[in-house]
Amino acid sequence: MTGTTDNSEVRTDGGETGIVPPDDETPSWSERKERKQGLARTTYEYFERSRREDQDLRQQSDYIERDVLGFPTWPHEMIRNLALTSFFVGMIIFLAATLPPHIGAPANSGVTPPIILPDWYLYWSFGLLKLGPLNPDLALLGGQKLMADRTFGVLANLVVVGAIAIVPFLNKGSARRPVEQPFWASVGVFGVILSVTLAALSVKNLLPIDAHLTFDLTFLLPFVGAFITYAVLKSMREGYMFELNRRYYRLRPPK
Amino acid sequence: MADEFMKGFAIFVTASLGWLVVAGWYKTPAFEGPQLLGTYPESPDVFSQIAIIAGEGMFYFAIFGTLAFWVLVPAINEAREAYAERK
Check A98 against B25: CB less than 8 A apart: yes
pLDDT digits (tens, 9 = 90+) for B5-55: 999 999 999 999 999 999 999 999 888 888 888 889 899 999 999 999 999
CB of A208 within 8 Å of a chain B CB? The answer is no
Please indicate whether, in this complex, the C-beta atoms of A104 and B31 are within 8 angstroms of each other. yes
**Rounded distance between C-alpha atoms, residue A161 and residue A190, angstroms:** 15
Q: Which chain A residues are closer than 8 Å to B20 by Cβ?
A: 99
pLDDT tens-digit readout, A122-162: 999 999 998 888 888 877 777 788 888 889 999 999 999 99
**Cross-strand pairs, A144:** A138
Chain A residues near residue B58 by CB distance under 8 angstroms: none
Q: Does ipTM exceed 0.95?
A: no
8 A C-beta contact, residue B7 and residue B14: no
Residue A197 confidence (pLDDT) above 60: yes
Q: How far apart are CA A183 and CA A233, in angstroms?
A: 9
| Chain A residues within an 8 Å CB radius of B21 | 98-99
Residue with the bigger pLDDT between A63 and A116: it is A116
Asked if residues A44 and A19 have their Cβ atoms less than 8 Å apart, the reply is yes
| Stretch (H or E) spanning B14 | helix B2-26
A66 interfaces chain B, CB cutoff of 8 Å: no
Q: B5, B70 in Cβ contact below 8 A?
A: yes
Least Cα separation, residue B41 to chain A (angstroms): 17
Q: How confident is the model at residue B83 (pLDDT cuts 50, 70, 90)?
A: very high
B19, B21, B22, B26 alpha-carbon torsion, rounded to 10°: 130
Neighbours of A192 (CB within 10 A): 14
* Alpha carbons B54 and B3: distance in angstroms, whole number: 27
pLDDT value for B82: 95
B54 touches chain A (CB under 8 A): no
Model-wide pTM > 0.80? no
B25 touches A: beta carbon within 8 Å: yes
* A99 part of contact set with chain B, CB < 8 Å: yes
